[in-house]
């Protein structure tokens, strides 16, 4: 699998993502500077976490206008796989590659803690290693992770099976009103969604930070091993 990681000024989890991809696939991804105007030949484009342009104005807003994003859009339109994590998810929404927006966390504080994610939609390249209803642990680290969209959009996402991950308790209960279970207050406890064709996926928590038994565990690894499998096929 040939993966590329887009680096914007202020991106800071590109090394984490590279490490996760390297560990799970055995191949180091390429780093792609945001001012590039073409993408190399790739199977997967990743927009990693961080504070692109300081997240000043709105998280991800300025990055969504970087030259490379026109290419990422074209790549997605041709059916390419795109994964956006944390700031990457914010950038995908700002670029309208995914619907909705990420507001300030409901409690107004940055949240750095483990959360549990329930897999709502299996069978995607991103989730093929799980079955629907599976729960896994992932660290979250963000100030603006409060997913919002119009009721229509939310209904459509649910109807089309595009809600990929939800915040949940360790045993899989989804309690949108409960701050210990849905810490940032996201609408319908949504943590991650996908595009219509299921090939563009964004989520707030960081599965890439849980892929190494020496660093806290491997709960996040299935996302990457699944992708590698899917893209090799």
Partner 1 sequence: MKVRVTVMLKEGVLDPQGKAIGHALGTLGFAELGEVRCGKVIDLDVPANDAGAAVTQGEAMARALLANDVIEDFSVEALS
Partner 2 sequence: MSNVVIDADLAARYGLTGDEYQTLLGIMGRVPTLTELGIFSVMWSEHCSYKSSRVHLRTLPTTAPWIIHGPGENAGVVDIGDGMAAIFKMESHNHPSFIEPYQGAATGVGGILRDVFTMGARPIANLNALRFGDPRHAGTRRIVDGVVRGIGGYGNCVGVPTVGGEVNFHPAYDGNPLVNAMTVGIARQDRIFLSAAAGIGNPVVYVGSKTGRDGIHGATMSSAGFDENAQAKRPTVQVGDPFTEKLLIEACLELMATDAIVAIQDMGAAGLTSSAVEMAGKGGVGIELDLDAVPQRETGMTAYEMMLSESQERMLMVLKPEHTEAARAIFEKWELDFAVVGVLTDTARITVKHQGRVEADIPLAPLADAAPVYHRPMALLHPPAHLGSVADPEGIEHALLHLLACPDLASRAWIWNQYDSTLGGQTVRRPGTADAAIVRVEGTNRALALTTDCTPRFCKADPKVGGAQAVAEAWRNITATGALPLAVTDNLNFGNPEHPEVMAQFAAAIAGMGDACRVLDFPVVSGNVSLYNQTKHASGMAVDILPTPAIGGLGVIDDVSKAIGYAMPESCDLILIGTQRGDLGQSLWLREIAHREDGAPPVLDLHAERRNGDFVRAQILSGHIIACHDVSDGGLLIAVAEMAMAGGIGATLLPPAHGLSLHAFYYAEDQACYVAATTDGAALIAAAEKAHVPVRRLGRSGGDALKLSDGMSVAIERLRSVNEATLPAMMDR
Residues with catalytic function: 86, 206, 208
Q: Which is nearer to partner 1, 2 or 96 (CB)?
A: 96
Q: Which is nearer to partner 2, 99 or 146 (CB)?
A: 146
Quick check: 4 and 46 in contact, CB under 8 A? yes
Q: Which is nearer to partner 2, 113 or 150 (CB)?
A: 113
Q: Which of 57, 170, 173, 175 forms a contact with partner 1 (CB under 8 A)?
A: 57
SS3 annotation, 35-77: CCCCCCCCCEEEECCECHHHHCCCCCCCHHHCHHHHHHHHHHH
Query: For the purposes of burial, counting CB atoms within 10 Å of the CB of 190, is it exposed (0-12), middle (13-18) or buried (19 or more)?
Result: buried
Q: Which residues, 6+ apart, have CB-to-CB distance to 152 below 8 Å?
A: none
The string of DSSP letters for 123-188 reads: SSTTTTTS-TT-EEEEEEEES--EEE--HHHHHHHHHTT-EEEEEE-TTS---TT-TTTSTT--GG
- Interface segment toward partner 1; rule CB under 8 A; list 16-24, 59-67, 198-206, 215-223: 59-67
**To the nearest whole angstrom, how small is the minimum distance from the Cβ of residue 198 to partner 1?**
21
Q: Which of 53, 121, 129, 166 forms a contact with partner 2 (CB under 8 A)?
A: 53
232 binds, among partner 2, partner 1, none (CB under 5 to 8 A by kind): none
Nearest to 201 by CA among 174, 168, 173, 161: 161
139 binds, among partner 2, partner 1, none (CB under 5 to 8 A by kind): partner 2
Please give the structure tokens belonging to residue 15.
């090394």
Q: How many CB atoms lie within 10 A of CB 52?
A: 29
Does position 110 bind partner 2 by CB under 8 A? yes
112 binds, among partner 1, partner 2, none (CB under 5 to 8 A by kind): partner 2
Q: Which is nearer to partner 2, 22 or 128 (CB)?
A: 22
Does position 108 bind partner 1 by CB under 8 A? yes
The string of DSSP letters for 184-200 reads: T--GGGEEEEE-TTS-E
**To the nearest whole angstrom, how small is the minimum distance from the Cβ of residue 16 to partner 2?**
4
Does position 2 bind partner 1 by CB under 8 A? no
For binding to partner 2 (CB under 8 A), which residues are involved? 9-10, 12-13, 15-16, 19-20, 50-51, 53-56, 107, 109-113, 139, 141, 143, 206, 208-209, 212, 214-216
């Amino acid at each position: 699998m040939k993966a590329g990681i887009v680096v914007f000024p202020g991106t800071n989890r590109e090394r984490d993502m590279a490490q996760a991809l390297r560990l799970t696939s055995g191949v180091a991804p390429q780093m792609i500077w945001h001012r590039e105007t073409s993408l190399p030949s790739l199977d997967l484009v990743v927009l990693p976490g961080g504070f692109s342009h300081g997240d000043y104005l709105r998280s991800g807003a300025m990055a969504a206008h970087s030259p490379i994003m026109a290419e990422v859009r074209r790549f997605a339109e041709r059916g390419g796989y795109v994964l956006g994590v944390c700031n990457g998810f914010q950038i995908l929404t700002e670029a309208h590659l995914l619907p909705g927006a990420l507001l300030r966390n409901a409690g107004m504080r940055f949240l750095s803690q483990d959360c549990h994610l329930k897999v709502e939609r299996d069978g995607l390249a991103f989730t093929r290693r799980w079955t629907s209803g599976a729960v896994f642990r992932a660290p979250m680290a963000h100030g603006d992770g409060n997913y919002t969209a119009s009721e229509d959009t939310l209904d459509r996402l649910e109807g089309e099976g595009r809600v990929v991950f939800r915040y949940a308790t360790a045993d899989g209960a989804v309690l949108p009103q409960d701050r210990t279970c849905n810490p940032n207050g996201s609408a319908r406890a949504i943590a991650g969604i996908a595009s219509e064709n299921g090939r563009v996926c964004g989520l707030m928590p960081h599965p890439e930070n849980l892929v190494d038994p020496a660093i806290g565990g491997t709960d996040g690894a299935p996302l990457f091993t699944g992708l590698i499998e899917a893209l090799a096929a």
